[in-house]
Amino acid sequence: MQIVWKGHACFFITASHGNHSQVKIVFDPYDESIGLRLPSMEADLVLVSHDHYDHNNAKAIKNAPFIASSPA
């Protein structure tokens, strides 16, 4: 597993699943209006901790990820 901080509250995690599969997860992608440029990322899953512009910019993540933004 690799965990990389991408600025503000955003983290990018890659985890191996078996020998040839990898899962990519992004936590709390931020909007660039906070003054930071969000790096280009693609993911399988985006997790949003709460619905503020500095934590919920899921549309910026490539690869049409599943978005989990609130408990079901």
User: Would you say residue 18 has pLDDT above 80?
Assistant: no
Residue 8 DSSP label:
T
pLDDT (mean) for 50-63 = 92
Whole-number Å distance between alpha carbons of 69 and 21: 25
- pTM equals 0.88
pLDDT tops 90 at residue 9: yes
In sequence order, what are the beta bridge partners of 5?
Answer: 11
The percentage of the chain sitting over the pLDDT mark of 70, rounded to a whole number, equals 97
For residue 27, is pLDDT > 80? yes
Domain of residue 6 covers: 2-68
Between CA 42 and CA 50 the distance in angstroms is 20
Radius of gyration of the chain (CA): 12
Q: Name the domain count of the chain.
A: 1
